Structure formats: structure tokens, C-alpha cells
Amino acid sequence: MVSTLDNSFYDRMEGLFAPAEAMKPSAPRLLVFNRRLAHRLGIDVTHAGDDEFARIFSGQEMPEGSGPIALPYAGHQFGHFSPQLGDGRALLLGEIIAPDGARFDIQLKGSGPTPFSRGGDGKAAMGPVLREYLVSEAMAAMGVPTTRSLAAVATGDVVQRERAHPGAVLTRVASSHIRVGTFQFFAAHFGVDHVVKLSNYTIWRHWPKLAEAPNPHLAMLDRVIGLQCELIAHWMGVGFIHGVMNTDNVAVSGETLDYGPCAFMDRFAANTVFSSIDTHGRYAYGRQPQIMHWNMARFAEALLPAIHSVSPDDVEAAKALVDAIPGRFRAHWASRMRAKLGLAEGGADDRALVDDLFAELEMHSVDFTSFFCALAMLLRGDGARLEQLLPTPDAMAPWVARWWEHIESDGVSPLARADAMDAVNPLYIPRNHIIEPALEAAEAGDIGPWREFLAVVQQPFVERPGLERFAEPGPIDAAPYRTFCGT
Ligand code: AMP
Ligand code: MG
């Protein structure tokens, strides 16, 4: 069924990983399988049944060609360096080469301990597995670069956390699992040769043309920084808070990685934090660009030996690339916000308009997601939705008047603008007050509400009658939402 796997990391990075095995689940049962993703990967599923999926995507049976390994990495966790982390609850089965030639890691998450488990059980509870599945697929549907979810399988075993949970395994698909922390591990424990080796492998895997640059490692730093700037702007444009932007959770590919305590913001507040362990708000919504800058500085440090080995002069160029990050991020952010607000690229200077918007949204506790959809409706002549979002109907009238002026000065028809806005502003996101009860129901044996919600967020831009409740923010008087690590 699963086409033969390739193992380029295994073959090219000899000795720099640990062979590992999956724990055999007692009674694997398929919860969900992503047929559309399977098709994109070229997996032939025509003759496979749920039982076969359950066996393969729980680790009970290894797919053909698999050389299962766990990868070591290091990482700055909340600013403190941990030299020895790694796949403690994940197993890389191998790589699949899709019909278009793209290469993807196939990884099991929650399939038991590995040499990097550091005393952990290597397992995952069903709730967090289904949470990652739904949120990552929602992100993909919104066009945000992300790892994907191919399957979730209940193991039939119990996972002990603060209470007992049913266990599950997630099959994660990523263009690679090379993290900033992977580079940090190589830089901290080995010499320049190993950093060069990892860098060359990464370039071969993701951007082979960069091998022709005068200094390929410097060119890769530039590329990775560009992708991170784009990614964080994308996150913030949909109100996403990653929650644990440690360097070990940053994929150099520019894909969103490690859905732990992440969540989406309802009512706008720049200092929003959901993670129970982020007590100082290091990873708050509005701090994400600064943290990305900091993480990229750590990446540059780890790469520096490789950059220096080609040309010592390029160390200065690397520093300049890191220093330029705030400006580069702002350019991505400005262009994303223009799209969200229906403003033309290169139109009248709209920076103050955008900056002032966030102060307004915060002051009036406006639901971030609904706001942009309501603005598009206003362009169509329906102002009711916007009024409903505000504490008083004209609370944002002066700002809205300014926005109209920008719209009119662009000279494009309001209806065409509204359609363009609908294509970038999601209507349905994984809202906290909907996902939590769905996960609880799933752990208690009823996966129906979760499936229903998944279908909703898989088409985030298309308004459908009957789904109104999925587009609404949670109750305003609810206790602050808290998320936890531990997929
Ligand atoms: P994360 O919270 O996903 O960023 O994980 C941080 C580190 O803890 C990674 O090295 C994980 O592999 C490890 N880890 C987290 N949970 C477990 C677990 N249940 N068993 C073993 N290792 C774990
Ligand atoms: Mg992690």
C-alpha cells in the first residue's frame, strides 16, 4: 500500500541519529485517515482497509523500505539552552517521494520511547493527537506552511498524564524535520565538518540551487530567514499563537512545526498567551516577530562555522542578515495586512491605518477573525455584521471612514475587493471553545463532533449556511483559555 520509503537522512547522515523501534500497540484502531493527503503523496490506498492503515500508522507493522530512526537535536527552551533533546516520542519511518518528486518525512508521533526519551514514556494521548491533526489541517487549508497529518490511530493502551487518557499515534508528514535545534546539536557536540555536512544535506534536500551560490551556507541562512519572516506574518494574519517557539520547534523548511499549546485568538489582545507554562508571556501573540528574530540569531550562530569555512568575510554578511530581520518581517506583515484589508499593494501609505487598527481592535475587544469578514460584507453594502462585533454600532466609525478613503483611492471596485478579501480572511478557524469539547467527546468514545469540526475548518474560506456557530467567538465571560504541551 505505502509505496517503498526512501531513507536519505539514514543514508547520508550516518551515525548522526539513533535507530529505534515502535512500541507495539495492543489494539490499534483507525480514527482518521487523510485520503486527500495520501493522494498528494502518491500513496495507493485503493486496496487498503482501515485495519491495514491502523497497523501501519500505529507502528505495529513497518512499511516497506522503512529504516526507523530517532533524530537528536538541541534547543533553546524559553531562552535556556538544552544541549540534548531529540525525538523522544517520535519515530521517523523514512521518506516518501511524491509523484511530483517532492520528498516528505513520514513520522510517527507517540509510538513509544526512543534513546532520546529522557525518562518520558514516548506516548501521546488521543486528545492532543486529534488537536494537532485538526489544527495542522486547518492551517494547511488556510494556506499556512505547515507539517501535515496523514493519520491518527488509537492504540488501545492507556496513557497516564494528570489522569489516564486513551493513547493514540499521529502520523506527521513534513518536508523535513530538520530544526534550528538540529543545527544547534551538531554545532554544540561536533566540529565544523558536521555542521557543513548537515547544511549541505539541508540544501540538497530543500533548495539544491543554493549549492551553486558563492557561499551556500550563507545563502541558506538568507533563505531560512525569509521563510520565517513570511511564516510568522502568516500566523499573525490568522491570529495564530504557536505558544512554544523554542528553537527545537522551528523547522528550517519554514513549515509550522510542533503543535503543542498553540491556539487561535478570539478577541484581539496583543499580549494574548494560552500556554500554561508560558508564565512570562515570552511567546505572546505580539512577541512572535521578536522571538523569531532571536531564534534566527541562534540559527546564524550555529551555522557560523560553516559560513566561516567558505569565507571568513561572510561572517559579517551573516550578521547583517540577522540585523535586517525586523525590516524584512515588516514588509511581509504590511503586505499581508493590505491583503486582509483589501488594500492595493503600493497604494496610498497605509502604515498608520494598519497600526491604528490594532489599537482599535484591542480597545473594543473585537473578534479578530470575524472583523475582516465583516469588513468585506461592508464593502458589499451590509454593515450589520460589523455592528454586531462592536460594543456600540459606531465604535470604530472614524477608523472605518479612513479605511474607506483608502479603498476608494485605489480605484478598484468594492465588490472585487470584497471577493479578494474573502480569499485571504478565514471565516472558520479552530476556535478553542469548540475544539475542547470535541476532543473530550473523542476521548470518551464519540469522535463525531471532532469529525464535524474538521470538515468545517478544512474549508475555512467558504461560508456555508448552518455553520454560524462555528464562526462565533467563545463566551466573553469564560475563564481564560489554557493550553498544555504534551501531544
Ligand atoms: P515539545 O514539547 O514537543 O517541544 O518537546 C520537548 C522535548 O520533550 C522533545 O525532545 C520531546 O521529544 C520530549 N518529549 C515530550 N513529551 C515526551 C514524552 N511523552 N516522552 C518522551 N519525550 C517527550
Ligand atoms: Mg518539540
Same domain, 234 and 289: yes
Q: What pLDDT score does 476 carry?
A: 81
- Ligand 1 centroid, distance to 62 Cα (angstroms): 23
| C-alpha 88 – ligand 2 centre gap (Å) | 9
Who has greater pLDDT, 127 or 408?
Answer: 127
Nearest-CA neighbor of 274 among 262, 288, 258, 287?
A: 262
Closest CA to 278 of 293, 267, 291, 294: 291
Please tell me whether residues 301 and 267 are part of one structural domain: yes
Residues with CB under 6 A from ligand 1: 85-89, 117, 120-123, 244, 248-249, 258, 260, 485-486
Least confident of 221-225, 248-252, 421-425, 475-479: 475-479
| Same domain, yes or no: 30 and 121 | yes
> What number is the average pLDDT over the span 3-30?
94
From the CA of 485, give the closest atom in ligand 1. 2
Ligand 1 atom closest to residue 87's alpha carbon, by position in its atom list: 12
Q: Are residues 300 and 188 in the same domain?
A: yes
Predicted pLDDT at 487 = 56
Q: Same structural domain for residues 84 and 156?
A: yes
Residue 270 reports pLDDT greater than 70: yes
Q: 70 phi and psi, to 5 degrees?
A: -115, 140
Identity at 250, one-letter amino acid code: V
Question: What pLDDT, on the 0 to 100 scale, is given for residue 262?
Answer: 96
Please tell me the number of the ligand nearest to residue 249's CA: 2
Domain endpoint, select from 174, 195, 226? 174
- Identify whether the C-beta of residue 133 lies closer than 8 Å to the C-beta of residue 154: no
Residues 163 and 28 in one domain: yes
Q: What is the pLDDT of residue 412?
A: 86
Q: What are phi and psi of 119, to 5 degrees?
A: 85, -10
Atom of ligand 1 nearest to the CA of 85: 10
In this predicted structure, what is the pLDDT of residue 348? Answer: 65
pLDDT of res. 485: 77
Task: Return the ligand number nearest the Cα of 180.
Answer: 2
pLDDT band at 479 (very low <50, low <70, confident <90, very high): confident
User: Does position 48 have pLDDT exceeding 70, yes or no?
Assistant: yes
Q: Among the three residues 281, 312, 333, which one is the final residue of a domain in this structure?
A: 333
Tell which of 333, 359, 393 closes a domain: 333
**How many domains, the chain?**
2
Of residues 485 and 408, the one with the higher pLDDT is 408
Range of the domain at 215: 180-333
- Give me the percent of the chain exceeding a pLDDT of 90: 92
248 is annotated as an active-site residue: yes
Residue 471 lies in a domain: no
Contact 120, 88 (CB under 8 A): yes
The alpha carbon of 164 and the centre of ligand 1 are apart by a number of angstroms equal to: 18
- Average pLDDT for 366-389: 97
Q: Which ligand is nearest to the CA of 82?
A: 1
- Is residue 135 located within the same domain as residue 198? no
The residue annotated as part of the active site, out of 248, 266, 314, 350, is 248
Return the best residue to mutate from 69, 117, 177, 244 for the ligand 1 pocket (most ligand atoms within 8 A of CB).
Answer: 117
Average pLDDT across the chain, whole number: 96
The string of DSSP letters for 319-366 reads: HHHHHTHHHHHHHHHHHHHHHHHTPPTT-S--HHHHHHHHHHHHHTT-
Q: What would the mean pLDDT of 283-302 be, rounded to a whole number?
A: 98
Cα 274 to averaged position of ligand 1 atoms, centre (Å): 19
Per-residue pLDDT tens over the stretch 166-200: 999 999 999 999 999 999 999 999 999 999 999 99
Q: For residue 260, what are the contacts with CB-CB under 8 A and spacing of at least 6? A: 128, 243, 244, 249, 275, 483, 484, 485, 486, 487
Ligand 1 pocket: which of 71, 78, 89, 184 to mutate (most atoms within 8 A of CB): 89
* Radius of gyration, alpha carbons of the chain: 23
**Do 193 and 164 reside in the same domain of the chain?**
no
Could you tell me if 162 and 240 lie in one domain?
Answer: no
- Please say whether the beta carbons of 75 and 84 come within 8 A: no
Span from the CA of 126 to the centroid of ligand 1 (angstroms): 16
Residue 486 has pLDDT above 70, yes or no: no
Interatomic CA distance for residues 153 and 235, integer angstroms? 28
Mean pLDDT for 435-447 is 98
Q: How many residues in total does the chain contain?
A: 487
| Domain co-membership, 137 together with 189 | no
Spatial separation of the C-alpha atoms in residues 404 and 26, rounded to whole Å:
61
Q: Taking 80 as the threshold, does the pLDDT of residue 346 lie above it?
A: no
Place 411 in a pLDDT band, splitting at 50, 70 and 90.
confident
